[in-house]
Structure 1
Amino acid sequence: MTSPIAAILETALYVDDLDAAERFYGGVLGLERISRAGDRHVFFRCGPGVLLIFNPDETIIPAPPDALPVPAHGARGPGHACFRLEGDDFAALLKRLADHDIAIESDFRWPNGARSVYFRDPAGNSLECAEGRLWGCDDEVCVPPPFNLSP
């Protein structure tokens, strides 16, 4: 059976300090800010998708009756997001991170040759930048790799 789901539209991470997150994702990583709502959230454009950064203390509060019917949600502790890079964009990423004293936790190649770089945001979220071929992605579709990604 084919799934009607075409792609991930948005990814959410949770942070305790939205100001630090906005500086990191907008300033260090260079993502375009879409909007910010006080101390509740800040949203960034990320290629064709959206990165949602939420304050869990705010998103756990149910919406008032006259607001959009988005259910309360949230998470605590570090999460993970992976951003897709093209092969020649790794040098620019590594320079940006070095210019902001962001430590690289890991930089390696998977069995299919795809490169991944891991680092942390100010809230401790694990961030990865990888080539799309890690998951067999081209511009429109991803196909699972023919190997086991488990350690």
Structure 2
Amino acid sequence: MRIRRSFLILIALPLIGGIVFGAYVLRWLSVLLLSVITLAYLFGEELRIAYPSMHRKEVGERKDEVERVTKIIEKAKESPVSRSILEEQIIEIYMTLSDNQAETYRKLHEEPNEAILLIRKEGNFLENLEKALNVVEVDIDEGGRG
């Protein structure tokens, strides 16, 4: 019974409004009401759909980067090319710390610091990489520039 009564009330409101206010006023009230509903929909629902969360994308990019570096480290055990890629990554860290990045890049290629020498050193690569990263960490903590 409730559904029928509420349905009748919904039908009766525009009819009563048309009789009391006239058809012209009722049309303008309908236009205003539909405009408000459309604006609420556009700014409420549509914007959430149009702009997906950037957090998910960033997590995916970080995951891809970690996987890429992991593969490079695994290959660097035997491949000199992968070792040179890791060496360049360490140089980029020092370049980021430096005010003059071009000079730091050139200087580290001409006169490698302790971290780069450890990467180039023969022997157990993973131990050398760990020692090199410890040297980089100390340089970052001290604010060293390479």
TM-score by length of 1: 0.22
Structure with the higher strand share, 1 or 2: 1
Relative contact order higher in (CA < 8 Å, ≥ 6 apart) = 1
Please identify the structure whose Cα radius of gyration is greater: 2
